[in-house]
Amino acid sequence: MGTALGRAGFVIENEWYWRLTEGATTLDATAAVRDFLAPLARIVTAMRDLVAAPGRVTFVIGERPFAIDLVRAADRIAMNALVGDVNRAFAAAELGLTFALVVPNRFELRGVAMPEAELAALAGDPVVLIPSTRPSWRATPFR
């Protein structure tokens, strides 16, 4: 499964892997759009009109507008929330897709759009970094 995920989606700058795993607090709206949402929109063509504003990103899926307020926390918490909010937008737009950040190879980070059932089948698989349901992430103290 990891190999298939490694070919799917888009490569995310390696620095984000370290930011997410080491508790950095660098995610802002500009980075969210540039590094995660704009590459995702190239895959999910129904997603368009991405705008970064202080603390918020907006976009349109089909004809429906969405706004996501970024969580001010460690990057892994903020990204987990962003991915969850994007997935709620996908569900509301009835795309049948989910967004995830995966680690198909050591220290490699990719963003993927996959069918909802595929992400559900990967629950608990360490290849899925975000959205995370792993107990170890909930038990880790955050800055």
Q: Is the pLDDT of residue 136 over 60?
A: no
Mean pLDDT of 12-26: 92
d(CA 140, CA 135): 9
Q: What is the pLDDT of residues 46-97, one digit of tens each?
A: 999 999 999 999 999 999 999 999 999 999 999 999 999 999 999 999 999 9
Give the Å distances, CA to CA, from 120 to 66, 67, 140.
24, 25, 23
Q: Using one digit for the tens of pLDDT, what is the confidence trace for 92-104?
A: 999 999 999 999 8
The pTM of the whole model exceeds 0.85: yes
In sequence order, what are the residues at sequence separation of 6 or more whose Cβ sits closer than 8 angstroms to the Cβ of residue 121?
none
pLDDT at 6: 53
| pLDDT confidence of residue 5 | 60
Q: Are 84 and 131 in contact (CB under 8 A)?
A: yes
What is the rounded average pLDDT of the residues 134-140? Answer: 45
Half-sphere exposure of 13 (CA within 13 A, CB side): 8
Residue range(s) defining the domain that contains residue 88: 2-139
SS3 50: strand
- Give the number of domains in the chain: 1
The per-residue pLDDT for 4 is: 57
What is the distance between the alpha carbons of residues 132 and 135, in angstroms, rounded to a whole number? 9
- The residue length of the chain stands at 143
Q: Which of 67, 64, 77 is nearest to 29 (CA)?
A: 67
Mean pLDDT of all residues belonging to the chain: 87
